[in-house]
């Protein structure tokens, strides 16, 4: 079953259960300035859950383009390392706004997976929140899933309601337990069942999350104690990764082996003259062309802060992988045409914007191409001297003079099992700021993230506000 059929079957199934089909919204959330990117299907419905917006339907279904790179959900560092994480992916979802609840949600999920998609029931597992007997009983007594394959998952130690199986919109507000459905890819792949220490492996892969918004969480301002009170209208919010489901349905283990990705990988191989289609860099490039193209479609352009800097970082990571494969000329933008062939029908906004996407990517490739080449030489020279550690000064020079975002340098170090001196980087950054400050050229805004304390380096995301233009 190809990706197009998977999308259509999902939407048709929920339409037959009274859901209104809603189009994917933009990767740039229209209703939430605090959120960097749309990272799940529910984002466009947030105000409906909060009760501040009314729609003329109480059941909805969609296929939502999502991005998890930067911000609270960040899977950028997983790309190229797991079989199941992308920066850009599509989420199949269904929602109840104060209408049906746990029973229908789980029973329909099971019906869709086993009857419509035809998945073998004995390969499916479910998790429920530790105390959620209601969901447990639906899985066991109504659906008939054996107890051995239903796992109760509680809170992480010392953190109340901080669990993979307890969802909350924010520190306060709607929240509730969730029930995740896993598929067992079999003993050839390393990994343990949900809830076990080996869950992080790629054997048991989470395909679908059913969130039950059941409570309103409030925190007593005096004591800091959280209380949960039942919501007047209970809601359902589900999300299933299209690429993970496609992998199961196409009998492959990794998302990168599905039809859509294989063709993108072939295109990346064509543009980099690589014959080994299993090369990891090709996967990363295939992932990144989707993220970058759709970001441009949705109005983001490469820049030095916020969303624009996330886009720039992803493009530059892709270019670095191209460079690693020996491609020093612009190539990335040429994959846009292939992407249009793969995804243009599902997302008509992509072919409409394709020419602009190509231009934007090409320009960024030309801008970074030369400094990438020089920067890599400097990095190699430094590593020739100290093969186990990249010093902070060099990392800072790469960042400041050659336009290497710190996460790009970190990615190279990780790949080569080299330690990156982040503290040294922060020190070099701070020193430059003091110099600039003394020279009166320093913009106050840029100082915020580093707070003047050399040890308080707060991570790559903070750099999103503070990168140099090249």
Beta bridge partners of 195: none
CA–CA distance, 311 with 122 (Å, rounded to integer)? 41
Pairing of strands 124-129, 173-184: antiparallel
Smallest separation (angstroms) from ligand ATP to the CB of 68 = 5
Q: Which is nearer to ligand ATP, 241 or 302 (CB)?
A: 241
Smallest separation (angstroms) from ligand ATP to the CB of 290 = 11
The answer to whether 392 and 304 have CB atoms below 8 angstroms apart is: no
Candidates 270, 168, 247, 268; CA nearest to 214 is 168
Q: Which is nearer to ligand ATP, 90 or 466 (CB)?
A: 90
CA–CA distance, 428 with 424 (Å, rounded to integer)? 6
Q: Interface with ligand ATP includes 177 (CB under 6 A)?
A: no
Choosing among Mg ion, ligand ATP, none, which partner's interface includes residue 235 (Cβ < 5 to 8 Å by kind)?
A: none
Kindly compute the dihedral angle of the four CA atoms of residues 345, 347, 353, 356, in this order, to the nearest 10 degrees: -100
Choosing among Mg ion, ligand ATP, none, which partner's interface includes residue 86 (Cβ < 5 to 8 Å by kind)?
A: ligand ATP
> Of all residues in this chain, which one has the CB nearest to Mg ion in the complex?
209
CA–CA distance, 340 with 123 (Å, rounded to integer)? 34
Q: Interface with ligand ATP includes 89 (CB under 6 A)?
A: yes
Q: Which of residues 333-352 bind ligand ATP (CB under 6 A)?
A: none
**Interface residue with ligand ATP, options 6, 27, 91, 315 (CB under 6 A):** 91
Choosing among Mg ion, ligand ATP, none, which partner's interface includes residue 132 (Cβ < 5 to 8 Å by kind)?
A: none
Alpha carbon distance, N-terminus to C-terminus of the chain: 45
CA–CA distance, 12 with 61 (Å, rounded to integer)? 9
Q: Interface with ligand ATP includes 316 (CB under 6 A)?
A: no
CA–CA distance, 321 with 85 (Å, rounded to integer)? 18
Q: Which of residues 137-166 bind Mg ion (CB under 5 A)?
A: 164
Question: DSSP of 94-147, one letter per residue?
Answer: EEESSS--HHHHHHHHHHIIIIIS---GGGEEEEEETT-HHHHHIIIIIS---G
- The pattern of x and - marking residues 244 through 263 that bind ligand ATP according to CB under 6 A reads x-------------------
**Interface residue with ligand ATP, options 83, 207, 231, 246 (CB under 6 A):** 207
Q: Which is nearer to ligand ATP, 112 or 207 (CB)?
A: 207
Choosing among ligand ATP, Mg ion, none, which partner's interface includes residue 208 (Cβ < 5 to 8 Å by kind)?
A: ligand ATP
Tokens of 342: 């793969």
CA–CA distance, 139 with 144 (Å, rounded to integer)? 6
CA–CA distance, 300 with 315 (Å, rounded to integer)? 12
> Of all residues in this chain, which one has the CB nearest to ligand ATP in the complex?
241
Specify the DSSP class assigned to residue 465.
G
**Interface residue with ligand ATP, options 241, 322, 330, 392 (CB under 6 A):** 241
Tokens of 411: 């990615």
**Interface residue with Mg ion, options 3, 209, 210, 394 (CB under 5 A):** 209
CA–CA distance, 312 with 129 (Å, rounded to integer)? 39
Choosing among ligand ATP, Mg ion, none, which partner's interface includes residue 44 (Cβ < 5 to 8 Å by kind)?
A: none
Smallest separation (angstroms) from ligand ATP to the CB of 204 = 10
Site stretch for ligand ATP (CB under 6 A), options 239-247, 291-299, 304-312, 421-429? 239-247
The answer to whether 425 and 457 have CB atoms below 8 angstroms apart is: yes
Q: Which of residues 48-77 bind ligand ATP (CB under 6 A)?
A: 68, 75
CA–CA distance, 287 with 402 (Å, rounded to integer)? 24
CA–CA distance, 363 with 319 (Å, rounded to integer)? 12
Smallest separation (angstroms) from ligand ATP to the CB of 272 = 24
Smallest separation (angstroms) from ligand ATP to the CB of 206 = 4
**Interface residue with ligand ATP, options 43, 240, 258, 383 (CB under 6 A):** 240
Tokens of 270: 């064509």
Q: Which is nearer to ligand ATP, 407 or 422 (CB)?
A: 407
Contacts with Mg ion, residue ranges (CB under 5 A): 164, 206, 209
Contacts with ligand ATP, residue ranges (CB under 6 A): 40, 68, 75, 84-86, 89, 91, 206-209, 239-241, 243-244
């Amino acid at each position: 079953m190809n990706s197009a059929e998977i999308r259509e079957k999902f939407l048709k199934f929920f339409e037959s259960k009274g859901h209104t089909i809603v189009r994917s919204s933009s990767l740039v959330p229209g209703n939430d300035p605090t959120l960097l990117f749309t990272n799940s299907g529910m984002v466009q419905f947030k105000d409906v859950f909060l009760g501040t917006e009314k729609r003329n339907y109480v059941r909805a279904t969609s296929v939502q383009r999502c991005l998890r790179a930067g911000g609270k959900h960040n899977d950028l560092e997983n790309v190229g390392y797991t079989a199941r994480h992308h920066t850009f992916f599509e989420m199949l979802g269904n929602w109840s706004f104060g209408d049906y609840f746990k029973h229908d949600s789980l029973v329909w999920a099971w019906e869709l997976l086993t009857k419509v998609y035809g998945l073998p029931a004995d390969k499916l597992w479910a998790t429920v929140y530790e105390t959620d007997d209601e969901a447990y009983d639906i899985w066991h007594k109504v659906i008939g899933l054996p107890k051995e394959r239903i796992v109760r998952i509680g809170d992480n130690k010392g953190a109340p309601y901080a669990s993979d199986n307890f969802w909350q919109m924010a520190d306060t507000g709607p929240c509730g337990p969730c029930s995740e459905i896993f598929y067992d890819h079999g003993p050839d792949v390393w990994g343990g069942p949900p809830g076990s220490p080996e869950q992080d492996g790629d054997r048991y892969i989470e395909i679908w999350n059913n969130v039950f918004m059941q409570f309103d969480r409030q925190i007593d301002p005096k004591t800091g104690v959280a209380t949960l009170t039942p919501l007047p209208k209970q809601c359902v919010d589900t999300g299933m990764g299209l690429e993970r489901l496609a992998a199961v349905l196409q009998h492959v283990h990794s998302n990168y082996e599905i039809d859509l990705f294989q063709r993108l990988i072939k295109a990346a191989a064509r543009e980099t003259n690589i014959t080994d289609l299993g090369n990891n860099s090709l996967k990363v490039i295939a992932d990144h062309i989707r993220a970058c193209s759709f970001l441009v479609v949705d109005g983001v352009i490469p820049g030095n802060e916020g969303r624009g800097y996330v886009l720039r970082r992803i493009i530059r990571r892709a270019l670095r992988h191209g460079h690693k494969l020996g491609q020093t000329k612009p190539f990335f933008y040429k994959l846009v045409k292939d992407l249009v062939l793969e995804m243009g029908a599902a997302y008509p906004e992509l072919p409409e914007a394709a020419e602009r996407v190509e231009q934007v990517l090409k320009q960024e490739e030309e801008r970074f191409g030369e400094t990438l080449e020089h920067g890599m030489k400097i990095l190699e020279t430094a590593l020739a001297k100290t093969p186990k550690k990249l010093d902070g000064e060099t990392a800072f020079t790469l960042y400041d003079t050659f336009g290497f975002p710190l996460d790009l340098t970190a990615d190279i170090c990780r790949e080569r099992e080299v330690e990156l001196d982040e503290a040294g980087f922060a020190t070099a950054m701070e020193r430059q700021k003091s110099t600039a400050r003394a020279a009166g050229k320093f913009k106050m805004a840029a100082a915020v993230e580093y707070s003047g304390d050399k040890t308080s380096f707060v991570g790559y995301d903070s750099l999103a506000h503070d990168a140099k233009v090249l």
